[in-house]
Amino acid sequence: MALLQARETAMRYFRPVLADHDLTEQQWRVLRALTAVKDPLDAGELAERTLLLPPSLSRILATLDERGLLERSPDRLDQRRTLVVASAAGRRQVAEIAPESERRYSQIETAFGTERLHKLVDLLNDFSEAVATTCPD
C-alpha cells in the first residue's frame, strides 16, 4: 500500500511533465520499453513489457505512429508479424523526459524504503520489549 501511495504521489507531479510532451502514462511506458531494448519488439513482447492489454496497446501504437514516435516494419521471417521500434524522434523525446522520470522513480523507492525501514525498526523495538518483559535478566 505504501508503494502504491508513493507511486501515485510521484505520478501526480510527473503527469504534467508528460502532458507538456503530449504523452499519457501508457504512451510513456511504451516509449520507455521500446528504448530499453536494442531489437524491435512485436506486439506480444511489448504487451508483456508494459503490462498493457492488446486493445489498449494497439491504440497507443497507432497514436505514437501517427506522431512519428515509432517505426513499424514486417518481421523478415514472418511477414504477418509487425515489429516496432522507437523512431529517432521517439528516442529524443525519451531522452528529454527520462531524467525527470528517473528522479520521480528514485523518490518512490526512497519513500518506500524509508517507510519499510521505519516499520522494521518498530517491529524490532516491539520484539525487544516483548523479550524484556518475558525474559527478565
Average pLDDT over residues 44-48: 93
pLDDT value for 86: 94
Q: Which has the closest alpha carbon to 90: 61, 53, 52, 112?
A: 61
**pLDDT, tens only, 90-129:** 999 999 998 887 777 677 667 666 666 666 666 676 666 6
Q: How many CB atoms lie within 10 A of CB 125?
A: 10
Q: How many CB atoms lie within 10 A of CB 50?
A: 21
pLDDT value for 74: 79
Q: CA 58 → CA 23, 32, 35, 86, distances in Å?
A: 16, 16, 18, 15
pLDDT value for 15: 86
DSSP class of residue 102 equals H
pTM for the predicted model, two decimal places: 0.70
CATH number of 2-134: 1.10.10.10
Beta-strand pair 41-42/82-86:
antiparallel
The residues facing 70 across adjacent strands are 86
